[in-house]
Homo-oligomer: A and B are copies of this chain.
Amino acid sequence: MAGAHTEQEMLNQVRKIVPPLLPKFHKGQLGRVLVVGGSEDYTGAPYFAATASALVGADMSHILCTGSAAPVIKSYSPNLMVHPYLHDENNKSQLSSKIAPLLERMHVVLIGPGLGRDDDVLNQVSQIIELCAERNLPLVVDADGLFLIQKQPSLISNYHKHRAILTPNVVEFGRLLKSTGIENDDTVSAAKALAQKLGCAILVKGESDTITDGVQVLNGSEQGSNRRVSGQGDTLSGSLATFVAWTEAYKSKLWDAEPVDEDLLLLAGLGASSVTRRASKLAYERHGRAMVTTDVNTLVGESFAQLFEKS
């Protein structure tokens, strides 16, 4: 139980799922991440998520978005691989021809950043979640991905048990509770009930972050900042995607890792929570009230190194 560990001991647990950089590894082994998001209205969110995944240390960061969003996201950075396969007025969905083969190469799929709420797009994303289920891929769900879950909770309750983690903010959390009929004003108890009901892990963002699989509860209380810029959630979900990819590598014994005492998905959540909160603190120290999401996002690498790299 979390209560039995100090904060420092918990970060030591997270450190055990951070892979060493060994000469024998080849490109891709330390994380191939797919962010599903990016639409007519939103192009920054998937960029921040995918960039955070790269700065935490994923080898390859991909984005799957609509045709109109792709050129813009691509132009933000040559470091991301952006695939315009989601249907919008500019292109047809390419679910079996292109999306399924793309999923085949991934270690984790993050659904939601900048997805928008277009019915056609959300229908495709429901189908993508089914394709992920066929491949038993771990899922991270955030933002408009949570809007989809709120409308169709069965997408997660029918998913493989403990293979998905949802990352709602307070408002999204309230909607998820309502749509699943959970009435409970205590965040920790409500989060546990929701995790049990959906058979997944939940990371509720707040003054401190609550991370639970319905039984264990970890508390993400790394110091952040009080400046609430939009897009910090994307930095968190993207960071989380890499940590989740690493839990897969850990389980497959890619390196000679030490045993951990806690659930791997919850440790991934705590890692991402800590990295994002620390990055936000560093950004506020440097930019004050003028801090923008890019400032937080750019500091993910430095934050990660402070928290998790052996000095």
Contacts and interface: CB of A to CB of B under 8 A. Distances in A.
Interface stretch (A1-9, A26-34, A183-191): A26-34
Contacts of A309: 288-289
A99 to B, nearest CB: 12
A305 B287 CA distance: 9
A145 to B, nearest CB: 17
A122 B222 CA distance: 49
A76 B300 CA distance: 21
A47 B78 contact: yes
Given A55-B292, A290-B55, A301-B287, A25 B228 contact: yes
Interface in A221-244: 225-232
- Could you say which interface size class chain A belongs to? 35 or more
A304 B290 contact: yes
A37 B14 CA distance: 40
Interface string A22-44: 11111111100000000011111
Interface string A289-311: 11111100000111011000100
A74 interface: yes
A82 B223 CA distance: 31
Nearest to A75: B75
Q: Which interface residue of A27, A30, A60 has the most chain B CB atoms within 10 A?
A: A27
A228 B30 contact: yes
A21 interface: yes
B78 A43 contact: yes
Contact of A231 (B25, B79, B226, B229): B79
Q: Which 3 A-B pairs have the closest CB atoms?
A: A290-B301, A44-B78, A21-B226
Given A72-B74, A75-B76, 18 more contacts: A22-B226, A26-B171, A27-B169, A41-B82, A41-B83, A42-B81, A54-B229, A54-B290, A56-B290, A71-B71, A78-B231, A78-B293, A79-B292, A79-B293, A81-B230, A288-B309, A289-B301, A291-B301
Interface of A: 21-30, 40-44, 47-48, 54-57, 59-60, 68, 71-72, 74-84, 169-171, 207, 225-232, 287-294, 300-302, 304-305, 309
